[in-house]
Structure 1
Amino acid sequence: MEFHLKENGMRVELPYGELDVSGNEEFGYRPFQLMVASIAGCSASVFRKILEKQRTEIVDLQINAEVERNPEEANRIEKIVLHYVVKGRRLDPEKLYKNLEIARRNCSMVRSVENSITIEEQIDTVELS
């Protein structure tokens, strides 16, 4: 990736499009937002693939990420709680948690930060008829 300086941040050209990064969200995505989005996005993608392979019938998967930062240490990300809401049919919460643990072991973004950021996961299910 090649980043270019712009007046209020950096820009990178990617196959999907341009990405502007800035400490001021008026001019681009803030770095911590991208970090959290990378972790949540990777985790959800791997989790969904596992559920599809096991033929778990999901209709929707949403994630809410709660972020704790430490203002005493450059506003460092200390903890991320990923709260999954899985909507589907014949959902088994125990099996979902086991699959999420497999996803955690296979998500490169979670593995990259596991010794510096605490990642917690919670699952709620919505059973559809």
Structure 2
Amino acid sequence: MEFNMKDGGFYGDFSYGRLDISGDEKYGIKPYQLLVSSVAVCSGGVLRKILEKMRMEVQDIQIKADAIRNIEKANRIESIKIHFDIKGKQLNEAKIVRAMNLTRKNCSMVQSVLGSIEVTETFKIIE
């Protein structure tokens, strides 16, 4: 990956397009938002694959992610809470709990931040 300086931040050109990054939202997405997004969306993608392998009919997954930051320690991220609203037909709660445990073990972004950032996941079935 390569990033170039611009007014107010940096940008990178990727195969899907340009990504603008800045500590000021006027100029791009904030670095902490990228980190939280990476953890949340990685988890969502892994969860989706696992649920499909379990032959559950998932129609939609909505993800909400909240980060708690410590302003006294360089505004670092202390914890990330991820909540999944899972919509589908005849979803099995026990299987989803098992899928959530597998997701945590197999999401590279969650595994990368464990020990530094507390990550908690919850879900709700929407039918």
Q: Which TM bucket (shorter chain)?
A: over 0.9
| 1:10-59 C-alpha deviation (Å, 9 max, x unpaired) | 11111111001000001000000000110011000011011111110111
For residues 53 and 6 of structure 1, the distance between their equivalents in structure 2, rounded to whole angstroms, comes to 44
Q: TM-score, normalised by structure 2?
A: 0.97
CA drift at 1:3:
0.7
CA drift at 1:73:
0.6
- Provide the residue aligned with 1:24 in structure 2: 24
Instruction: State the aligned residue count.
Output: 127
For residues 112 and 102 of structure 2, the distance between their equivalents in structure 1, rounded to whole angstroms, comes to 16
- Provide the residue aligned with 1:46 in structure 2: 46
| Structure 1 segments unaligned to the other structure (5+ residues) | none
| 1:91-113 C-alpha deviation (Å, 9 max, x unpaired) | 11121011011111111100000
Amino acid at match of 1:37: S
CA drift at 1:84:
0.7
- Provide the residue aligned with 2:91 in structure 1: 91
Segments of 4+ in structure 1 off by > 2 A? Answer: none
Question: 1:84-123 residue pairs with structure 2 within 5 A?
Answer: 84-123=84-123
- SS of equivalent residue, structure 1 residue 36: helix
RMSD of aligned Cα (Å): 0.7
Q: TM-score, normalised by structure 1?
A: 0.96
- Provide the residue aligned with 1:78 in structure 2: 78
Is 1:56 matched up with 2:60?
no
- SS of equivalent residue, structure 1 residue 78: strand
For residues 66 and 6 of structure 1, the distance between their equivalents in structure 2, rounded to whole angstroms, comes to 29
For residues 53 and 91 of structure 1, the distance between their equivalents in structure 2, rounded to whole angstroms, comes to 13
For residues 84 and 50 of structure 1, the distance between their equivalents in structure 2, rounded to whole angstroms, comes to 14
- Provide the residue aligned with 1:68 in structure 2: 68
For residues 93 and 118 of structure 2, the distance between their equivalents in structure 1, rounded to whole angstroms, comes to 22
